[in-house]
Chains A and B, each alone.
Chain A
Amino acid sequence: MAAPARKREKIPPEKLHNTCEDCHGDRVERFRTNTHGFGRHPEDGPLPDSFCEACHGDGRAHNESGGEASLIYVPYGREGADRACLKCHDQNSREPESIHVPLRVRVNQPAGVHANSEMVNCLTCHSIQHEEPRSPYLLRWQQEKLCAICHPAEVASFRNQPYSHRLGRGGMECSSCHDPHAGAGTDNLRMTAAGELPCLNCHAEQRGPHAFEHGDGAENGCLNCHDIHGSSNPKMLKRASVAQLCIECHSPLSAASFGSQPPSFHNLASPRFQNCTTCHVKIHGSDRDPHLLE
């Protein structure tokens, strides 16, 4: 519920401000470069009040009261996101203002784990006027800090583990692999244009196809062997020893599973056989050898 309006001294009509910009020039100035300004330049003329009112609602009462704060709508929380952001950015919005918003920056927000709610809504992550200056997406903070609010373990893993992708600082961002606005799908992954796992956006050489694929990679992708958020083990592997990682699948104790038995000369007690990739160098798939040796 809005707080009751405070009593203010009435401002003579000749002193009333005419436009939003008269009082809020600094904020309007932000829109010269803000993506919501659509490239508007001072020479294009002053911003019309309707520009501000698209999010803040009718400003006449606020104006006529001489700037009473309670008489202007400030978008906040889920309701603010519904009223101000999704009016244009909802994928199926039919509001007249939505014509300014290209389809590629629209979202299907009722769906997905980031569905617009009190906990997670547009304004949780984005700020229209108080954005992180170095963020091109009007984010409140840098991505790694923002995502860590709800996903601290994942972000901490990048930071703490010795073998991890470089996060920020010229490296990846959370959004390199995840699409926070994705409506459906496991872990909101940002698939490639061809619909592959996001790992292949960078590691194109692992796409294949190879004449002889590693069955696990072909079936389960990269995550069966690699901890992609960071690992204590070299190459971001899930086990400290390569042989241990491999033998856990390649121990066919029954006919029920997929994974062959290594021949008996693979003496795991010998250092020569403790790193399977010493010989099986093409572990991701080979075009020459069915045993992934070359």
Chain B
Amino acid sequence: MRTLTRLALLLLLPSVAFAQAAPGSIPPVATEPAPPGPLDIEIGYRTLSLKGNEDLYRTQINERRGIFIRSMTILTSEPRDISQIDRLRIDGTEIGPGSPASALRLEASRYSYYRLLFTWRRTNSFSALPAFANPLLEQGVITGQHTYDRRRDMMDAQLDLLPRAKITPFIGFGFRKLSGPGTSTFTTGTNEFQLSQSVEEREHEYRGGAYYDFGSVRGSITQGWRRLRSDQTWTLLSRDGNESDPVLNHPTFATAMQRDDHSRTRTPFTNAVFAAQVAPRIRLKASYVRYSAETDDEGTGDLAGSFISLPMLRFFNVMSERVSSSAKKTVTRGSGRAEVLVHKDVTLFAAYQNERRDIAGTGLLDTLYQETLNFDGLDKRDIEAILRSNSSIHRRSNLGLAGISFRAPGPLSLRFEARDDRQQLDVAKDLAEIVLPGNQWGTWDRHVKTLDGTASFMRGNVYLGASYRRDRANVAVFRSDFLDRDRARVRASWRRTKWFHASLSATETRQSNDRTDTALHAKSRQYGGDFEAIPWHAISFHGSVSRFTTDSRILIRHPETFITEPSIYAGRGTALDGGVTVTHGLFTFAANGGRFRNRGENPFTIRRATLHAGFSFPNSRAGMLLELARDKYSDTNASFSNYTASRAGIYATYRP
């Protein structure tokens, strides 16, 4: 009740806005949307005012100042058989330097001749978490290792020829690029040194194939080739490592370091899908996927300074390393599925899937240690160490399932499915990989049986739905694997004509492994409710409250003391959201906001608010839109992480 009261109060405060709707668009209102037109665009400029930790803001949100296209749709049609493009649609979102993520989609076609689909996405990935992977934090060093500022570009184009013919050939091309600076770590002996890292990875994908449609037999076949080039270089960022104390009265430091790594991966893949209506009530589906990826890697490393090697029990001053490795992964998956329509509303289905996954790798590491001394400072010599190591993982999986789907002509729908999944895992022993004996190789045969059911009831304005899934396994491969898992969901919603809608939902998942050496017990719950009220066609309110709890407990052993104790993790999140939207004549106004508080581990509070005000010029398709957004992050344990980010954007709009 207290929560509901708070929510009601929040809704009464027009200045408090919640983040229910995406800032990228005016929130939907209870009016009929305008039909798509030749041009729908929002373009403008966003400012940013940031107080507090910029690194964390950029890691979590990263919206910046600058000009950008917030949204864009271009839609045209031309007379058939006159233009080479009789239909063109371009959709763009957040394109420009002011946004951390951009997307563009282009679809062009000429009826019966071709269809071209092009997509492009760019994300700016920034991560500089103050406390993450930063052992020097307590010494006041804020910048963490594993910081990066990278750009990821992804594009894909596919051209379908004769899209309405019995056979539709297609060709496709994909390109992905990840590049930018970062930091990393090099570990040697008893110390870790921070490195600056430069990454450039490019992947090209070429594919071709055809869709086929011969009446009762349909499907597609695709043959593709992928090629990944990865080039990385590292240089020394700081002379001092994480360990400032001398070891055996011997200081460790680095004076120079240069490493580079080049890998090439080639991956041919085949993908085939087949569907057939073998009888009026029987459908068959089959699919086959195979890919075989091969990686060759070459790398060098040169290090100078003063170091310790524990395996050699020696000090050394110079190290040169040459690495050559290769790996191969082959995955083959075949599946078949039959569906029998025993009645118009009752479908029986059964499926089988077999998967084979084989990974094998080999590495040759040639390391030359120069100017080494034993721990007495004697016996100066150069030592070359050659290490050859191999790894392999073989996995076989056989999945069978059967079920029934019942769709009554009335309000009730039921669906039930039983699955039986047998997984065999075989990991080879490799002495080079083993530090302490045990648990690094072996054979596991895991058998998971699943029951999965869904029921929904819908009559008039009321909907009730429930689902339950139960998994039982005989063994756990990893300690975090469950032996027993149960998941239940319920949902109810009620709609009062067009002016009110409310729903409640709850999900609980429990998983456990009762073996005395594991004692895994995990439970997560999510429940919440939301409503939307439209008391008048020009105004709508919405709000939601949700809460999640996570509790996990598993037995662990501390490596330094061999003490066994439970590892306990708890999450306690509560979210409140709400807002109001008003449309009147040429004006649109929306205020949204929310607060998310986590009281579990890593406690924090986030408060978010957005305000939109739109105006359309009379007798014109043009308008203006003002948007204010504010995010306040408060970390309970690490106040140096806190930030408050305020953005203001003004956009010109043109609507069809």
Instruction: List the interface of chain A (C-beta within 8 A of B).
Output: 26, 29-30, 32-35, 37-41, 43-44, 78, 91-92, 94, 99-100, 102-104, 106, 108, 110-111, 113, 115-119, 130-134, 136, 141-142, 144-145, 149-150, 152-153, 156, 159-163, 166-171, 183-184, 191, 193-196, 201-202, 204-205, 207-213, 215-216, 218-220, 224, 232-235, 238-242, 244, 247-249, 251-272, 274-275, 277-279, 281, 287-291, 293-294
Contacts and interface: CB of A to CB of B under 8 A. Distances in A.
Contacts of A156: 528, 544, 546, 575, 577
B560 A267 contact: yes
B543 interface: no
A196 B290 CA distance: 10
A256 B213 contact: no
B297 interface: yes
Given A102-B163, A208-B359, 20 more contacts: A33-B89, A91-B218, A103-B168, A103-B220, A160-B606, A168-B24, A193-B222, A193-B269, A195-B331, A208-B293, A208-B329, A215-B478, A218-B395, A251-B557, A252-B438, A260-B436, A268-B558, A272-B243, A281-B185, A294-B187
Interface stretch (B2-10, B92-100, B374-382): B92-100
**Which range holds the interface residue count of chain B?**
35 or more
Interface string B371-401: 0000000000000000001010101000000
11 contacts: A33-B38, A44-B79, A91-B275, A136-B107, A145-B21, A162-B596, A170-B102, A211-B297, A248-B480, A268-B560, A272-B135
Nearest to A268: B558
B499 interface: no
A259 B444 CA distance: 13
A191 B518 CA distance: 33
A289 to B, nearest CB: 8
A170 B127 CA distance: 19
B598 interface: yes
Contact of A37 (B77, B100, B598): B77
A220 B478 contact: yes
Contacts of B168: 102-103
B271 A195 contact: yes
B539 interface: no
B405 interface: yes
A152 B503 contact: yes
Nearest to B525: A153
A202 B218 contact: no
Nearest to B195: A281
Given A78-B407, A119-B456, A136-B89, A260 B435 contact: yes
Interface string B426-457: 01001011111011101010000000001010
Contacts of A92: 216, 218, 275, 277, 283
B215 interface: yes
B640 interface: no
SS class, residues of chain A in contact with chain B: loop
A219 B546 contact: no
B293 A39 contact: no
B320 interface: no
Interface stretch (B564-572, B583-591, B612-620): B564-572
Contacts of B110: 39
Contact of B295 (A102, A210, A244, A288): A210
Contact of B427 (A150, A191, A258, A278): A258
A208 B505 CA distance: 39
A252 B168 CA distance: 54
Contacts of B25: 134, 142
A238 B192 CA distance: 26
B77 A102 contact: no
Given A103-B220, A244-B569, A290 B391 contact: yes
A54 to B, nearest CB: 15
B242 interface: yes
Nearest to A78: B407
A176 B467 CA distance: 25
Contacts of B261: 287-288
Given A204-B201, A209-B295, A257 B479 contact: yes
B498 to A, nearest CB: 13
B60 A134 contact: no
A141 B589 CA distance: 19
Contacts of A265: 560
A136 B222 CA distance: 25
B507 A171 contact: no
B500 interface: no
Interface string B187-211: 1000010000000010101010001
Interface in B270-324: 271, 275, 277, 283, 285, 289, 291, 293-295, 297, 299, 301, 323
B362 A211 contact: yes
Contact of B479 (A103, A130, A219, A248): A248
Nearest to B560: A267
Contact of B75 (A33, A184, A256): A33
Contact of B178 (A30, A34, A195, A204): A204
B512 interface: no
A195 B80 contact: no
Contacts of A277: 133, 146
Contacts of A33: 35-38, 75-77, 87, 89
B569 A239 contact: yes
Contacts of B505: 152-153
**For B32, B91, B411, B571, which residue has the most chain A Cβ atoms within 10 angstroms?**
B571
B475 A256 contact: yes
Given A133-B35, A145-B28, A288-B297, A248 B554 contact: yes
Nearest to B337: A184
Given A43-B79, A218-B359, A274-B135, A170 B277 contact: no
Contacts of A153: 505, 507, 526, 528, 546, 548
Contact of B517 (A30, A34, A247, A253): A253
B90 to A, nearest CB: 9
A247 B568 CA distance: 12
Contact of B135 (A209, A261, A263, A278): A278
Contact of A279 (B187, B465, B548): B187
Contacts of B91: 134, 136
Nearest to B413: A117
Nearest to A282: B184
Given A162-B633, A208-B293, A212-B433, A257 B518 contact: yes
Nearest to B562: A264
Given A94-B215, A144-B22, A234-B132, A194 B269 contact: yes
**For A103, A235, A279, which residue has the most chain B Cβ atoms within 10 angstroms?**
A103
A162 B60 contact: yes
B12 interface: no
A26 B35 CA distance: 9
B95 A108 contact: no
A136 B480 contact: no
B649 interface: no
A171 B101 contact: yes
A163 B29 CA distance: 29
B176 A213 contact: no
B103 A170 contact: yes
Nearest to B444: A258
Given A130-B33, A168-B22, A209 B185 contact: no
A175 B20 CA distance: 19
Contacts of B606: 160, 162
Contacts of A201: 154
B259 to A, nearest CB: 8
Contacts of A281: 146, 184-185
A202 B440 CA distance: 30
Nearest to A232: B598
A193 B80 CA distance: 33
Contact of B389 (A35, A212, A224, A267): A212
